Copies of this chain bind each other. A is one copy, B any other.
């Protein structure tokens, strides 16, 4: 679960979190990670996450095909499940649909949605379809299931860990720039509209005990890494030259762009090289090492080993 900033009003989110903390937990481990967790016995746990995609905020209906939107809406939710180190098993889908939208368009959206659900073996177990007086709103709750010992959390980074990412970064942010300039058909726009969430890699990394903290990159490395550092009460050094930048993107896209939906993880340094080799053998693509966890509680950006003065903040969806 991820709480986006709204209208710059972090106070609102803090107020909601404070209210949530005042309620009973009922065995759920709630707000703080990409998903809430419920242990269900037999060494297993369920995880839960919800995301809303609103027309005009998260997507422009004229820029994305119905099929792409159905695919993307599901992908961003499954990404949150994958980042916990477990497999998605089911989703609930609520569609709030403007009256002028043809039924055929919605059916196409559902085709994109179910194609991805089918690819990853995810059940569609419920939801709601309602009319919307205004824009299209897609709300998805995704449920994951896996072994409790496989769960990865943001608070598990340890001093000395290597910091890795699962793919090159920044393509989605670069694609968004194309979209906002009205160029909807570029290769980068296609990546922005069709993110490949790390469903298989997430479950695989979940099963590796040498992987400590994990989350998905939805707001940009500079912003998201801070969540791991804060939750784990540690610091980090990141070498700017080691950040893997996607083709067509800039380093700034990779650092501060949103919606990459790749994995950010920390791994025990002793097992770092072996993990990277195993990953590459399994997925035929590398993990990228870009820094290490320190005991300073500060995030330090290095430029060829020397501290950089760069001040970076994350992507805002609006």
For A34, the closest partner residue in chain B by CB is B126
Compute how far the CA of A236 lies from the CA of B253 in the bound complex, rounded to whole angstroms. Answer: 64
| Identical copies in the complex | 2
Task: Contacts A28-B123, A97-B6 given; indicate if A133 touches B135 (C-beta within 8 A).
Answer: yes
Contacts A28-B90, A121-B24 hold; do A55 and B133 have CB atoms under 8 A apart?
Answer: yes
- Contact between chains at A36 and B132 (CB < 8 Å): no
Confirm or deny: A26 has a beta carbon within 8 angstroms of a beta carbon on chain B: yes
Of the candidate stretches A41-49, A262-270, A286-294, the one touching chain B is A41-49
Q: Which of B28, B90, B124 contacts A125 (CB 8 A)?
A: B28
Contacts of A114 in B (CB 8 A): 19-20, 22-23
Pairwise interchain contact A141-B92, C-beta atoms closer than 8 A: yes
With A23-B123, A133-B56 known to touch, is A103 a contact of B9 (CB < 8 Å)? yes
Q: Is A3 an interface residue (CB 8 A)?
A: yes
Q: Is B92 in contact with A48, judged by CB distance below 8 angstroms?
A: yes
Residue contact B24 to A123, C-beta cutoff 8 Å = yes
A283 contacts the other chain (CB 8 A): no
Report the minimum CB–CB distance from A69 to chain B (whole Å). 15
13 CB-based A-B contacts, threshold 8 Å: A1-B92, A7-B103, A7-B131, A11-B103, A12-B106, A16-B110, A36-B125, A52-B130, A52-B139, A56-B134, A57-B96, A134-B134, A137-B139
Chain A residues with a Cβ under 8 A of chain B: 1-4, 6-7, 9, 11-13, 15-16, 19-20, 22-28, 30-31, 35-36, 38, 40-42, 46, 48-58, 89-90, 92-97, 99, 103, 106-107, 110-111, 113-114, 117-118, 121-135, 137, 139, 141, 143, 145, 317-318
